[in-house]
Structure 1
Amino acid sequence: MKTTLTINGERREIEAEARVTLLDALRHELGLTGTKKGCDHGQCGACTVIVDGRRINSCLTLLCAQDGADVVTIEGLGEPGRLSALQAAFLSQDGFQCGYCTPGQICSATAMLGELEQGWPSWVSESLEGKAPVTRQEISERMSGNLCRCAAYPNIVDAIASVVDARLAEAAE
């Protein structure tokens, strides 16, 4: 079955069986190994990628179900010497230890910042309308689908908060 996607800004056609997951296609068909296979059950978030602006667990979606989609992986967010703000913040705030979950964490955080900008509430948001204040609790709740077995959570939240703070300061100028 042929599936056409835009992956990290490049149109790609992939020929694969109907049962192939997006995660396996990214890793094995395209060689984009930044996206990790963790639990293969959608419980850890290591395989998180951004599809049409929303974060998803790529281990839970079939490749063919994403025909025509725009997919962004960790490789599409930045590269050595040209890191995204979140990638740089994870480095400066020690938001990783072993690094295995880091690509999924950064993809999830990237899409989460978009959700915040659009005013999407979370379980801990005080109101269902308007933009939620970006507190540590808000960040933690929104990132709860991404596990870190090394327990770098405080530093992950610090990294995300530093990007939010920098954007707020930039907007105030």
Structure 2
Amino acid sequence: PAGAAAAIRAARAGASVRVFEKAPPGRDKVCGDGLTPRAVRALADLDIDLDGAHRIDGLRMIAGRTRRELPWPANGRFAPNGAVWPRRHLDAHLMAAAQDAGAEITWETEAAPLVDDDRVIGVTAGGSRCTADLTVVATGAPGAVARALGAGRVEDEPFGLAIRTYAASPRHADR
């Protein structure tokens, strides 16, 4: 989502924007379904409509007989609520907004850094070179650009893993 958000902002500001997305359109991804109030606020700032997202007013944790209800803290800087929205829907909305703003999107193409004199001057992607005054890398630690620039995952540090499933619940309408 960070790359699409950057593309939206830059294109709306009048920049010529090109996004290289290594995944196909509509791909699903385990991480990202849960949106914190900070994320909801960031999406609102981009005018992204969260219609279809499930609003949540806090977190409910249950472990055996122990149960905790944790409302989101109200601080005025972020939205008063979080949301649950499958990542494929979030990504589709963000990429559509980027395109509507004028960004050109190339799907199923991974970019690699184009370096000149120890400076990233663009990317190579799909067999071609794309130079730029500004290159935004939003691949995360496992991405080719991050790895090539030495910003990959540190093997001896803790690593997170996301697992997701959806289940029917009589409390589905709870927020």
Q: Same fold (TM over 0.5)?
A: no
Query: How high is the TM-score relative to the length of structure 1?
Result: 0.24
Query: How high is the TM-score relative to the length of structure 2?
Result: 0.23
Between structure 1 and structure 2, the one with the greater Rg is 2
Higher relative contact order (CA 8 A, sep 6+): 2
User: Which structure's residues are more often helix, by fraction?
Assistant: 1
User: Which structure's residues are more often strand, by fraction?
Assistant: 2
